[in-house]
């Protein structure tokens, strides 16, 4: 049990003993200022108001009733009725010893769930660009946290491999192959290939009509079109998977369930909506109406589920996917990591799915939106020419920039290659810069800031970790220098200790709210507290008492483990030296 949970439980019991109703809690929080102790309970204020009692008096009674022996060294009432709690050093030390010997850094979730996470989901018609980055790495971080807490996670990469553009693309591919070109050569640059197909489509009437015809033939299962399509898809998927490897993202081939997979059931989904009277014909198309999402004038939201030409749109595909995920895969919670611009669409799809009974009524449907990546000018991130920035090129640049830094700043490395460091630092910097900002906001992409060793950046955290490793290498050479029981005497040690004990709580918060920046901020606080401690509290220097040395080594070890685990959950790698 975490420190907070324990205090909460004890104070809650005390409140019951004081005759307070169950809905009034202790409102426990970390103390806002050091002189207020480690934790503060604000609940007496609210409770006093509800019971028409005097806040300070009630706080006194709560404190008298609370069983805090051995946990709290000192407690006092302050201000209008805050309860300030100073934890006992030996209590903290004991918890740290337990944590140090435990296999995991936090207890697993009390109720493990089957959770489905839809993320990355690039459009295969084009090369992956910066627009795909956020979904991919935010989703992956949340997935890792959920798994660490013991949930069963089903990853779903809902790749866009179907739709009107593919007629154009296979017509283009057909022309290339007809000219004797090998498919992987023709598709070496997907972006260029797409632009070329688009140009032909716009300028060449014969080509455009062939492209439109191919869409129909493809969807009807024509073998020739299907074969061309498959070639294109295979190469495009391979490209995405190469990016995933470079990004250290945990998606695999088995997680791909693309749009085309739902093609066979779309007709059935639409029929279901019509039968239930949810959808009806309107201006030639089949439209679902949602009075529950009406605007202030009572006009219901309208969603087209089948075009007037008989074709289907992505709303229908998403409904089919939801049914499969809930009723076939049995997901209890379904998370979508998709751009904020899709918010209305997701809302409509969720409402429709529930209304039509396509999902289990108990399933949680969550759209975790995120903002746009902006360039240094505050406008959407583009190349100088105004085109989209390819993800592959962005990542290469990150590694190249990191390599430059390593070459410029590092003296001699013992066991790690500069290439490995550059890769981990460069990729880590790009991911962390994104993950550390509140998901829902737009964020400004800035090479300089993300690769800095100062501030809330990946390199700073990785550096803090390498210092622990350096220390352990040194300790290994000293006879008798081994981690031992923790003793807390210095403020810097306390600061570290309290943070180390908070890790599990932070992970639960990330699992509940899907905000990885909470974990980033925590790790930054921990790294700062650790470097402060490391600066002030000598570990291996001459004249250090062996007991103190053993205690500080144990703290270092826990800090190292927590940093490495936390970064790993963000999909960021650490190294022994940098």
Q: What is the footprint of RNA within residues 200-259 (CB under 7 A)?
A: 259
Exposed e or buried b for every residue in 22-51, given b needs 16+ CB within 10 A? eebbbbbeebeeeebbbbbbbbbbebbeee
Of the pair 143, 539, the CB lying nearest RNA is at: 539
Question: In the set 9, 67, 470, 489, which binds RNA (CB under 7 A)?
Answer: 470
Report, in Å, the least distance between residue 352 CB and RNA. Answer: 13
Look-up: residue for tokens 């809905």?
23
**Does the footprint of RNA cover residue 518 (CB under 7 A)?**
yes
Q: Nearer Cβ to RNA, position 153 or 537?
A: 537
What residues numbered 25-44 form the site for RNA, per CB under 7 A?
A: 27, 29, 31-33, 35-36, 40, 42
- What DSSP string runs through 305-328? EE-TTS---HHHHHHHHHHIIIII
Spatial CA neighbour of 439 closest among 147, 212, 133: 133
Q: Which span sits near RNA by CB under 7 A: 130-138, 147-155, 204-212, 432-440? A: 432-440
Q: Which of 23, 52, 111, 541 binds RNA (CB under 7 A)?
A: 541
Tell me which long-range contacts 280-289 makes (C-beta under 8 A, separation of at least 24).
Answer: 283/308, 284/308, 288/352
Q: Are 401 and 332 in contact (CB under 8 A)?
A: no
For residue 245, the minimal CB distance to RNA (Å) is 24
Among 429, 460, 498, 499, binds RNA (CB under 7 A): 460
521 binds RNA (CB under 7 A): yes
> What's the closest the beta carbon of residue 259 comes to RNA, in angstroms?
5
CB of 574 to RNA, least distance (A): 11
Instruction: Tell me whether residue 385 or residue 414 sits nearer to RNA (CB atom).
Output: 414
Task: Name the one range near RNA by CB under 7 A: 130-138, 169-177, 321-329, 518-526.
Answer: 518-526
Out of 163, 167, 426, 566, the only residue in the binding site for RNA (CB under 7 A) is 163
CB of 13 to RNA, least distance (A): 18
Q: Does residue 162 belong to the site contacting RNA (CB under 7 A)?
A: yes
Total residues contacting RNA by CB under 7 A comes to 97
The C-alpha atoms of residue 332 and residue 489 are separated, in whole angstroms, by 46
Give the residue from 336, 337, 424 showing the smallest Cα distance to 131: 337
Candidate list 107, 183, 375, 532; residue touching RNA; CB under 7 A: 532
**Closer residue to RNA, CB minimum distance, 16 or 341:** 341
Q: Is residue 537 within the footprint of RNA (CB under 7 A)?
A: yes
Using CB under 7 A as the binding rule, whether residue 341 contacts RNA is answered as yes
List of residues 6+ apart from 563 with CB closer than 8 A? 461, 464, 465, 468, 523, 526, 527, 530, 574
From the centroid of its chain, how far is CA 189?
Answer: 30
Residue selected from 193, 244, 324, 443 as contacting RNA according to rule CB under 7 A: 443
Choices 167-175, 239-247, 437-445, 560-568 (CB under 7 A): range interacting with RNA: 437-445
Rounded least distance, CB 183 to RNA, Å: 23
CB 451 to RNA: min, Å: 10
Nearest CA to 399 out of 413, 381, 417, 419 is that of 419
The one segment of 16-24, 145-153, 179-187, 521-529 that binds RNA by CB under 7 A: 521-529
Sign (positive or negative) of CA dihedral 289, 292, 298, 303: negative
CB 51 within 8 A of CB 58: yes
Q: How far is the CB of 456 from RNA (least distance, A)?
A: 6
Q: Which of 233, 225, 166 is nearest to 197 (CA)?
A: 166
Least distance between RNA and beta carbon 299 (Å): 7
Closest CA to 138 of 574, 458, 517: 517
> 134 or 437, CB closer to RNA?
437
Strands 152-156 and 279-282: unpaired
Site string for RNA, 291-310 (x = CB under 7 A): ----xxx----x-x--xxx-
Nearest approach, Cβ of 68 to RNA (angstroms)? Answer: 16
Q: Which of 404, 127, 365 is nearest to 243 (CA)?
A: 127
Q: Looking only at residues 352 through 411 of this chain, which bind RNA when binding is defined by CB under 7 A?
A: 371-372, 378, 405-406, 409-411
CA angle 114, 117, 119 (to 5 degrees): 170
455 near RNA (CB under 7 A) = yes
Q: CB count, 10 Å around CB of 404?
A: 13
Q: Which of 24, 119, 123, 229 binds RNA (CB under 7 A)?
A: 123
Which alpha helices (DSSP H) does 157-313 contain, by range? 165-178, 183-186, 190-203, 205-219, 223-247, 266-275
Report the residue from 239, 423, 467, 487 that binds RNA according to the rule CB under 7 A. Answer: 467
Burial of 297 (0-12, 13-18, 19+ CB in 10 A): exposed
Cα angle for residues 126, 130, 133 (degrees, 5° grid): 105
Region 59-118 residues binding RNA, contact defined as CB under 7 A: 78-80, 82, 84
């Amino acid at each position: 049990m975490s420190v907070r949970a324990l205090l909460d439980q004890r104070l809650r019991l005390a409140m019951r003993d004081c005759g307070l109703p169950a809905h009034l809690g202790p409102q426990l929080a970390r103390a806002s200022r050091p002189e207020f102790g480690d934790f503060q309970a604000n609940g007496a204020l609210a409770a006093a108001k509800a019971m028409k009692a005097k806040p300070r008096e009630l706080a006194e009674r709560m404190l008298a009733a609370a069983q805090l022996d051995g946990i709290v060294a000192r407690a006092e009432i302050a201000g209008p009725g805050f309860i300030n709690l100073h934890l006992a050093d030996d209590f903290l030390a004991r918890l740290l010893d337990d944590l140090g010997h435990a296999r995991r850094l936090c207890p697993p979730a009390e109720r493990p769930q089957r959770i489905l996470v839809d993320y990355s989901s690039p459009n295969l018609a084009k090369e992956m660009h910066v627009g795909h980055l956020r979904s991919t790495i935010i989703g992956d971080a949340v997935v890792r946290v959920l798994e660490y807490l013991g949930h069963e996670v089903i990853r779903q990469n809902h790749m866009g491999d179907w739709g009107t553009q593919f007629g154009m693309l296979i017509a283009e591919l057909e022309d290339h192959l007809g000219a004797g070109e090998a498919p992987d050569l023709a598709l070496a640059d997907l972006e260029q290939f797409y632009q070329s197909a688009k140009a032909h489509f716009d300028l060449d009437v014969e080509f455009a009509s062939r492209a439109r015809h191919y869409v129909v033939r493809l969807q009807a299962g024509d073998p020739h079109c299907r074969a061309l399509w498959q070639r294109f898809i295979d190469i495009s998927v391979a490209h995405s998977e190469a990016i995933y490897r470079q990004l250290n993202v945990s998606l695999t081939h088995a997680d791909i369930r693309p749009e085309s997979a739902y093609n066979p059931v779309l007709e059935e989904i639409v029929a279901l909506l019509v039968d239930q009277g949810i959808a009806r014909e309107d201006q030639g198309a089949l439209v679902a109406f949602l009075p529950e999402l009406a605007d202030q004038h009572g006009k219901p939201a309208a969603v087209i589920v089948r075009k007037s030409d008989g074709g289907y749109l992505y709303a229908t595909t998403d409904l089919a996917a939801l049914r499969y995920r809930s009723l076939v895969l049995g997901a209890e919670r379904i998370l979508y990591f998709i751009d904020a611009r899709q918010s209305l669409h997701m809302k409509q799809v969720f409402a429709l799915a529930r209304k039509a009974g396509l999902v289990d009524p108990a399933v949680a449907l969550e759209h975790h939106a995120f903002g746009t990546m902006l360039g240094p000018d505050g406008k959407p991130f583009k190349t100088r020419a105004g085109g989209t920035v390819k993800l592959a090129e962005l990542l290469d640049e990150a590694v190249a920039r990191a390599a430059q830094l390593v070459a410029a700043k590092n003296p001699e490395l013992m066991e790690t290659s500069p290439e490995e460091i550059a890769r981990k630092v460069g990729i880590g910097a790009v991911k962390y810069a994104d993950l550390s900002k509140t998901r829902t906001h737009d964020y400004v992409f800035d090479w300089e800031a993300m690769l800095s060793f100062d501030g809330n950046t990946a390199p700073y955290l990785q550096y803090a970790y390498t210092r622990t490793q350096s220390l352990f290498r040194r300790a290994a050479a000293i006879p008798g220098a081994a981690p031992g029981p923790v003793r807390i005497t210095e403020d810097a040690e306390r600061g570290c200790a309290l943070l180390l004990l908070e890790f599990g709580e932070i992970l639960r918060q990330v699992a509940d709210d899907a905000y990885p920046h909470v974990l980033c901020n925590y790790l930054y606080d921990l790294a700062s507290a650790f470097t402060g401690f490391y600066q002030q509290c000598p570990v291996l220097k001459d004249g250090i008492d062996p007991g103190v040395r053993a205690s500080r080594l144990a703290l270092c070890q826990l800090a190292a483990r927590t940093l490495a685990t936390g970064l790993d959950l963000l999909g960021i790698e650490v190294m022994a030296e940098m």
